[in-house]
Amino acid sequence: MDILQEMSTLLQQGRAPKVKELVEQALEEGLSPKQILDEGLLSGMGIVGEKFKNNEVFVPEVLIAARAMNAGVEVLKPHLVKQGVESKGTVVLGTVKGDLHDIGKNLVKMMMEGKGLKVIDLGVDVAPSQFIESAKENNADIVACSALLTTTMGEMKEIVDKVKESDLSSVKVMIGGAPITQSYCDSIGADYYAADAATASDIALKICVG
Ligand code: B1M
């Protein structure tokens, strides 16, 4: 099997040490960091994302695959910076104020990073003003908010309003989480709703690269 295909397969199986080893070997063999990222790691993570969307794999498998991806990316990082591969876009992500649920948000982060996007993770219990400040500081393309509680989802309206009020006209707001629906998204004027992490990363990539 071709080394990149093997890397993709091992990543899907969540075998972090083997993935790390293969990335090192591929670099030694002279493959470019970008090719390793695109055709080995991102290709594997893309397949995991599709399977997750289709309920063929579940949260534990995704978390383990993401860990393998991170192990590979760690080896590549210095080479990618050296080669000047730029990220495809910047997302400011967080769970809204009053809400401490972060498992879904972390999946969104991993899937977005798996697509080559830079994700600024503000964590949980994030106030609207923190989203706005971070989006300005980091010149973000997207503000992405997660909420799991019906009592906290209202925070999203304030974030949408604050983005519109500030000079962030090109920034898109994406929302998601168990109680969120497309009709809620429409009712508060948010730009995008995603039902799951894989869809969120697909939409984010489209926003950033067209
Ligand atoms: Co909480 N909790 N919880 N909880 N908890 C829920 C959400 C609840 C539905 C359980 C229930 O009663 N059946 C309920 C909410 C009811 C409601 O609001 N209507 C609830 C409650 C009430 C509470 C507390 C108030 C309980 C209490 O203290 N009395 C409390 C609140 C704390 C707080 O946040 N202030 C609380 C606490 C907790 C724990 C700390 C124990 C723990 C969180 C641990 C953690 O996150 N680190 C917890 C958990 C684990 C859950 C359940 C069981 C599981 C949530 C989860 O992680 N699911 C949950 C019940 C349930 O959802 N079935 C529940 C797995 C995760 C992968 O799914 O986050 O939905 P999810 O993410 C999905 C999509 O929603 C989407 O992508 C993911 C999949 O691909 N997605 C996005 C998420 N964010 C997105 C953003 C996007 C796009 C897609 O774009 C930006």
Task: Could you please state the CATH topology (level 3) that the domain comprising 3-83 is classified under.
Answer: 1.10.1240
pLDDT tens-digit series, residues 130-147: 999 999 999 999 999 999
Question: Of all protein residues, whose CA lies closest to atom 81 belonging to ligand 1?
Answer: 177
User: 3-83 and 90-209 share one CATH topology?
Assistant: no
Tell whether ligand 1 has an atom less than 6 A from the beta carbon of residue 176: yes
HSE-up of residue 65 (Cα within 13 Å, Cβ side): 31
DSSP state at residue 171? -
Taking the C-alpha atoms of residue 4 and residue 22, their distance in angstroms, rounded to an integer, is: 8
- Of the candidates 156, 106, 112, the one whose C-alpha atom is nearest the C-alpha of residue 131 is 156
Averaged over 144-161, what is the pLDDT?
98
- In the three-class reduction of DSSP (H, G, I as helix; E, B as strand; rest coil), residue 166 is classed as coil
Host H or E run for residue 191: none
Q: What is the DSSP track for 52-64?
A: HHTTSS-HHHHHH
Tell whether ligand 1 has an atom less than 6 A from the beta carbon of residue 141: no
Q: Is 21 a residue whose pLDDT tops 90?
A: yes
Question: Of all protein residues, whose CA lies closest to atom 44 belonging to ligand 1?
Answer: 101
Instruction: Tell me the pTM.
Output: 0.84
**Can you give the residue ranges of every domain in the chain?**
3-83, 90-209
pLDDT tens-digit series, residues 77-95: 788 766 556 789 999 999 9
Question: Of all protein residues, whose CA lies closest to atom 62 belonging to ligand 1?
Answer: 178
Across the chain, mean pLDDT equals 93
Taking the C-alpha atoms of residue 152 and residue 70, their distance in angstroms, rounded to an integer, is: 31
Task: Could you please state the CATH topology (level 3) that the domain comprising 90-209 is classified under.
Answer: Rossmann fold (3.40.50)
